[in-house]
Homo-oligomer: A and B are copies of this chain.
Amino acid sequence: MPKIDLDAIEATNRTGYPMPFAADMGGRWFRRLAPAGGLSDFGVSHVTLKPGGISSQRHWHDTVDEFLVMLDGEAVLVEEGSETVLRPGDCAAFPKGAPNGHHLVNRTEADCTFVVAGSPDSGQCHYPDIDLLWDSAAGIYRHKDGEPY
């Protein structure tokens, strides 16, 4: 049936980032909803950030659109040159190709939860703060000079 049984989907805090960047991701717990719901045109994840957790390293995609809506709690949207608090019901969009590195940071003492949708993985993902580049064609993370991790 269309309603998704969230409790039946494993929540995980795994990450594909290489060290040391992986070490920052322990407070991000997510469930992949698209495969559970039979969707393939776009991805959807249900994400909980523990206090101190971050949604990802600050990044932007060259060919992937992203959209998120806050469900519970509060997070700070950190983007290029500014910060914005997001509360339940707030929505944010990250169009592909806009070089505005962004992520969410939970600076509160309580969990926060959001849903994020995105185009299927393609192109490159850029990380302005760290020596990291996602190369989706090769399926690997690289240093900024192109060298694989």
Interface residues of A (CB under 8 A from B): 1-4, 6, 33-34, 36-42, 44, 46, 64-65, 67, 69, 71-72, 77, 79, 82, 84, 86, 88-96, 98, 100, 102, 113, 115, 117, 119
Within the complex, the shortest CB–CB distance from A4 to chain B, in Å, comes to 5
Question: How long is the Cα–Cα vector from A46 to B36 in the complex, in angstroms?
Answer: 23
User: Which of B72, B90, B93 is the one whose CB lies under 8 Å from A37?
Assistant: B93
This protein's copies in its complex: 2
Within the complex, the shortest CB–CB distance from A138 to chain B, in Å, comes to 22
Q: Are A67 and B38 in contact (CB under 8 A)?
A: no
Question: How long is the Cα–Cα vector from A56 to B114 in the complex, in angstroms?
Answer: 25
CB closest residue in chain B, given A71? B89
Which residues of B are found within 8 Å of A98, using beta-carbon distances?
Answer: 38
Q: Are B39 and A42 in contact (CB under 8 A)?
A: no
Which residues of B are found within 8 Å of A3, using beta-carbon distances?
Answer: 77, 84, 86, 90-92
Pairs A-B, 10 closest by C-beta atoms: A37-B93, A38-B95, A41-B119, A41-B65, A2-B92, A39-B65, A4-B91, A42-B42, A3-B92, A117-B117
